[in-house]
Structure 1
Amino acid sequence: MPREVVEPNGWVALKLPNDNLRLLQVTPNTTISLGKYGSFPSNLIIERPFHVTYEVQDKREGESFSRLRVVPGTELNEDALADTNAGTTEADEAEGDDVIVPADGDELTLVDEASGQVIARSKREVLDDSARQTLTIAEIEELKKKGSSAGKELIAKLLLSHTAIDEKTAYSLAKYKLLKTKKYIRRFTVLPLDVPLLGHWILEDKDAAKILEMRQESLALVGCWADVHFASPPLEGAERPHGGRWLVVDDTGGLLTASLAERMGILYNDRGETTEEQAEDAGKGLNGQSHARGATGEPSADNPTQTQPKPNKRRRDDMEIPYAPNNTITVVHHNAQPNLFILRYFDFDSTEVNPTPPYHTLYTNVMSLSWLQLISPEDDPAYTDVPAEVDPEVLASWKTNQRGNYHRKRRRWARTRHIVDTTRAGGMSGLAVASTMDPTSILRHALPLLAGGAPIAIYSQTVEPLTQLADYFSVGRRSAWVTNPPAEAIGKTTAELERWEGSEEFPINPTLLLGASIQTSRARRWQVLPKRTHPLMTERGGAEGYVFTGWKAVPVEGRIEARGKFKKKRV
């Protein structure tokens, strides 16, 4: 689960008044700058809860930093409360009350001094704010430099100095006030960084092409149709894991992997205190289900800059495997290393192959191998070149760097051998794909690795590759295969037909997949106002995004015969 408070060196998202997001790593004893909204010490939000709105205050006399004020909910919703409490009743008018009392905390209510009533407004034309604003740019800049009341006084003066304020309706005035508030108010909200928020930030503010323009709806569809969930530990004495091993092809920089890991409950690392038993288990390596481990080197409660010593641990055997038996994600990539840069926002570095215990849950549950290792492992030196075993006496005479390289090579070979052998053994629980590769070529090598009934979900920016793939598994092609199989497939076993390379008429065995379908989804945003609720007419452009789904089928061997006594029903 995401953290409940801001932790040192943890990643957070700051929501600014203009609805923009700023992702940053909260480093202790530093200054966080929000641009025109000001700056403040990072220690003021460490160990504070999330979903709290702060206001950057003016610097006090004799202090070189700005303090933060927690904005209460009543102040955040003062406009809604003012609309509820504003106005006079018929009883008040009968009594002759000519003064409207603003709601508590409402400093920006505009009242006519002569009549004591709210100024009437109208929105029948587009107003030129710059021409009807009496405050000059120089005066506005001078008020901004003063930083009076965190921008509130400036907003109030802008509203009171507008000569055409009486032509605005309540909706127009609310929009005008909201526009100026977003521009000048110095507030921000601290939000926990999760996968949907990170995906939205990359899609809207960064390079959307890095994640294949994958929206939150498409991420949810892939995870749902791939049936990604936390699986129970394997049964005692079972030769193979009970379940929970997913095969993933991820070209979104790790966004899909992070989404699946979040569904499985292994994305967020547990930073509790390290016990002696956990430290000893970390030294031995993991051969079972991953445990929650405490972090070492974290700042202590008494001194934030002092780090705790790491627990003593023995050197584990180079041939021991640190990976969990189930609840794992196996990423297949086409580079020297998988591109999972997004996982660094969740305190995991995929490029670090020899981390120190206690391990991050992603290190023990996320494995990776290349397409070469999956298809033809004998051609990969990292798999075939077995490091020679050196006698302890000779190893002790080596230099420190030589011994370190020797142990690293042996551990890397042991990990590579384990990942390749377990993946090629098959029995995977499902397949999730978000890639620009041809989906037919992916399924040609991935389908034999799936267990019977395993779900499949493939994301593509365009619908054409998925439409072609759905045609390869259509009912017509499956019927043609059963009635008149190709000559190359006659006499082959079921295992051989699963790995059949295909022909011009049948690029892939159409009996290996059932229920092929294509779908898409887009959640439309709505404007919700009294008597003005409607969907927004404009949305972000780019790829629509489509998802292909299906289930792995195990072809039956031999002929199908129906036995039993059947009676014809009389019509």
Structure 2
Amino acid sequence: MHSYIRPNTYIVLRLPSGILKLLEILPNTNISIGKFGTFQANSLLGRPYYLTFEILDKEGDSNSELRVVPAAELHESSLTTAEDDTPAESTDEPADGGAEFDIVGDNGEIIMQSNRLTIDDPSRQTLTMEEIEELKKAGTGSGKEVIARIMKSHQAIDEKTPFSLAKYTLRKSRKYLRRFTVFPADVNMLSEYVLDKEAHRIMELREENLGLINSWANIHCAESSSIVPSSCGKGMIGGGRWLVVDDTGGLLVASLAERMGLLYPEESEDEASGKEEEAIESKPTEESKSNGIPEEDAMVIDTPAEGTSETTKQEPPEAPKEANTTTSESNPSKPRTPRAAHIPPMSAQTNTLTIVHSNAQPNLGYLKYFSYDATASNPKHPLHTHLKTLTWLQMLYPEDDPGYQEPETLSDDLLSTMKSSKRGTYFRKRRRWERVKRVVQETRAGGFDGLVVASVMEPATVLRACVPLLKGGATVTVYSANVEPLVELCDYYSKERRTAFVSRQNIDTTEQSQDANDSTKALGPDEAIDPDFPVNPTLLLAPSLQTARARQYQVLPGRTHPLMTSRGGAEGFLFTATRVLPVAGRVEARGTFRAGKKRKIQVEPEKGG
């Protein structure tokens, strides 16, 4: 991820009121942030993130300027409060005798001030709304002058307690201060923005939920991980490959890709400088336009090569044809750069994400904020080769999917007689079929390092089809906004249900029942689902259910506590388990087992009377 603001990228602005504004920064355009003002987008390009800017209006100019607010000015109130918090006994100033206090020390020290006699009435503010609006229009600063004038015009400002004064100042700053902070449009900021706007589209996934999912699923960059061919020869085992079911619009995929180092495209400095040089060279000069010289020959005449003679440089404009000939001979045209090699999509072998979706195209709309489009991906983006998609129909019933059927093969003689458009369509169909076939075979062969699910579908049906595709020791992570589906899932993989499942296997001795209930074989989609065992409970161990929620705090003098008006909504729960490979056949305990040596008891003979 870049550390400075680049053109044609998305950024997040945090306004003084706390509202987030997500926008794409385009060169030579204006950015409006409502009542706080408007400024040019070019004033942000090239600047680092996480800076706070002030909007300053210039007199006689409609364009506003931006000023970087230093850290000392941002935290001025906190630093001033810390310096002023000096105990009364260390100073010679007496306590105020005119005010009433709830708690006063023996030596007259003010311990806690009361505001029970303070009359908080709007009439105590001498400024009217019309006068405040005139101050806003007349002022060219960031709004600090308006705030200072409002506080100065308040008749009861001296009667406020430190907490009341800090809260009053904060409220006025959020209303009149013309500042904003620039943040990158990363996964955390995007989740916070969407959570306030359309929480249902991301299943109310919060930042702490995404952190738990990445930790329990063991998501990491596995570019150099080793892979082992599977027993069937069509797939592989390991290699940093994760199976994902995402119904959050691509937010979960973006979080996983960020941890794997696949979310942000890399652009070298040489490429960026080369593009700038090409743009400069492609612009014709004003002299060439005035002389009527074509644009393709303008740079050749205005900037002759080193080997050009002085007579050629000083040749009069009456003979432009000879000048062009002489210059073109001394400055031959550059060789044409070869076309870049075609990079097939979904071709990576390690460090990949395989998305299983239920629609014709995967719903990955939120990846557009990271320069990736699933319908027309950029070959330079890492997700172009490391993100693989297939439908549930292709994974469960590949023969019924039209995209899995091989198109008709045409001979070379017939292709030579076809039009170029039809020939291109034919090869595109062949490449699409080869890609679908390769992804389907790799997915059905299994060997994934983990399974991550955030879907509105019933979790048991998803795990029934996906858990057998995991390798031994892989982690299963399922997110749900509500706890009820995950509680049911914990019961399906509980120890008691697993014991009953194994006992039923031992009782069934017929070959048909053994094939249908083999612990190493996944239940097929065509087989009837047993209501007592909708999933195979021997495939997962140590199921657990957990949740986490970060609470925002109000930090003001004497009033530090959680916010009472925090956002509600679903809590969000997480189911985790570990994939195991149960032993085939019947398990019996053999051998002798002794808990310890038996104690020898000596019986004493009874004494005769």
**Contiguous gaps of at least 5 residues in structure 1:** 97-119, 275-293
Question: Given the superposition, is the C-alpha separation of residues 305 and 89 from structure 1 closer, same or farther in structure 2, using an over 3 Å criterion?
Answer: farther
Question: Given the superposition, is the C-alpha separation of residues 511 and 93 from structure 1 closer, same or farther in structure 2, using an over 3 Å criterion?
Answer: closer
Contact 1:13/1:22, CA 8 A, preserved across alignment: yes
Contact 1:331/1:369, CA 8 A, preserved across alignment: yes
2:369 matched to 1:342? no
Question: Given the superposition, is the C-alpha separation of residues 352 and 295 from structure 1 closer, same or farther in structure 2, using an over 3 Å criterion?
Answer: farther
2:247 matched to 1:247? no
Aligned length, in residue pairs: 518
Measure how far apart 1:410 and its partner are.
2.1
More strand by share: 2
The 1-side partners of 2:113 and 2:278 are apart by: 56
2:7 matched to 1:15? no
For residue 261 of structure 1, what is the amino acid of its counterpart? A
Name the SS of the counterpart of 1:484 in structure 2.
Answer: helix
**Contiguous gaps of at least 5 residues in structure 2:** 95-111, 231-235, 284-334, 599-609
- Give the structure 2 partner of residue 173 of structure 1: 165
Measure how far apart 1:166 and its partner are.
2.0
Contact 1:219/1:259, CA 8 A, preserved across alignment: yes
Contact 1:267/1:362, CA 8 A, preserved across alignment: yes
2:390 matched to 1:365? no
Q: Deviations over 1:442-467 (max 9, x none)?
A: 01110111111211011111111111
Question: Given the superposition, is the C-alpha separation of residues 409 and 311 from structure 1 closer, same or farther in structure 2, using an over 3 Å criterion?
Answer: farther
Contact 2:464/2:522, CA 8 A, preserved across alignment: no
- Give the structure 1 partner of residue 535 of structure 2: 508
For residue 82 of structure 1, what is the amino acid of its counterpart? T
Question: Given the superposition, is the C-alpha separation of residues 140 and 225 from structure 1 closer, same or farther in structure 2, using an over 3 Å criterion?
Answer: same
The 1-side partners of 2:282 and 2:175 are apart by: 36
Name the SS of the counterpart of 2:472 in structure 1.
Answer: coil
TM-score of the superposed pair, with normalisation by structure 1: 0.83
Measure how far apart 1:313 and its partner are.
2.0
The 2-side partners of 1:528 and 1:383 are apart by: 59
The 2-side partners of 1:221 and 1:89 are apart by: 45
2:467 matched to 1:450? no
- Give the structure 2 partner of residue 534 of structure 1: 561
Name the SS of the counterpart of 1:134 in structure 2.
Answer: coil
Measure how far apart 1:124 and its partner are.
3.0
Name the SS of the counterpart of 1:533 in structure 2.
Answer: strand
Name the SS of the counterpart of 1:408 in structure 2.
Answer: helix
Question: Given the superposition, is the C-alpha separation of residues 300 and 370 from structure 1 closer, same or farther in structure 2, using an over 3 Å criterion?
Answer: farther
- Give the structure 2 partner of residue 215 of structure 1: 206
Name the SS of the counterpart of 1:454 in structure 2.
Answer: strand
The 1-side partners of 2:452 and 2:281 are apart by: 42
- Give the structure 2 partner of residue 525 of structure 1: 552
Larger Rg computed on CA atoms: 2
Name the SS of the counterpart of 1:138 in structure 2.
Answer: helix
Matches within 5 A, 1:528-567: 528-561=555-588, 567=594
The 1-side partners of 2:86 and 2:400 are apart by: 84
- Give the structure 1 partner of residue 316 of structure 2: none
2:75 matched to 1:77? yes
Contact 1:433/1:458, CA 8 A, preserved across alignment: yes
Name the SS of the counterpart of 1:67 in structure 2.
Answer: strand
2:404 matched to 1:380? no
The 2-side partners of 1:88 and 1:221 are apart by: 43
Matches within 5 A, 1:171-570: 171-204=163-196, 206-235=197-226, 240=236, 242-273=238-269, 312-313=338-339, 316=342, 322-352=346-376, 355=378, 357=379, 359-391=380-412, 394-395=414-415, 398-485=418-505, 489-492=513-516, 493-499=518-524, 501-561=528-588, 567-570=594-597
TM-score of the superposed pair, with normalisation by structure 2: 0.78
Contact 1:324/1:364, CA 8 A, preserved across alignment: yes
2:30 matched to 1:28? no
Contact 1:447/1:498, CA 8 A, preserved across alignment: no
Question: Given the superposition, is the C-alpha separation of residues 58 and 436 from structure 1 closer, same or farther in structure 2, using an over 3 Å criterion?
Answer: same
Measure how far apart 1:267 and its partner are.
0.9
Question: Given the superposition, is the C-alpha separation of residues 141 and 304 from structure 1 closer, same or farther in structure 2, using an over 3 Å criterion?
Answer: farther
Contact 2:543/2:575, CA 8 A, preserved across alignment: yes
For residue 325 of structure 1, what is the amino acid of its counterpart? Q
Moved more, 544-553 or 223-232: 223-232
For residue 475 of structure 2, what is the amino acid of its counterpart? P
Contact 1:122/1:167, CA 8 A, preserved across alignment: no
Name the SS of the counterpart of 2:262 in structure 1.
Answer: coil
Question: Given the superposition, is the C-alpha separation of residues 207 and 301 from structure 1 closer, same or farther in structure 2, using an over 3 Å criterion?
Answer: farther
Q: Deviations over 1:342-371 (max 9, x none)?
A: 111111111215x4x4x2011111111111
Contact 2:246/2:252, CA 8 A, preserved across alignment: yes
Moved more, 480-489 or 429-438: 480-489
Measure how far apart 1:264 and its partner are.
1.0
- Give the structure 2 partner of residue 115 of structure 1: none
The 1-side partners of 2:392 and 2:62 are apart by: 56
Measure how far apart 1:434 and its partner are.
0.5
The 2-side partners of 1:224 and 1:211 are apart by: 19
Measure how far apart 1:128 and its partner are.
4.4
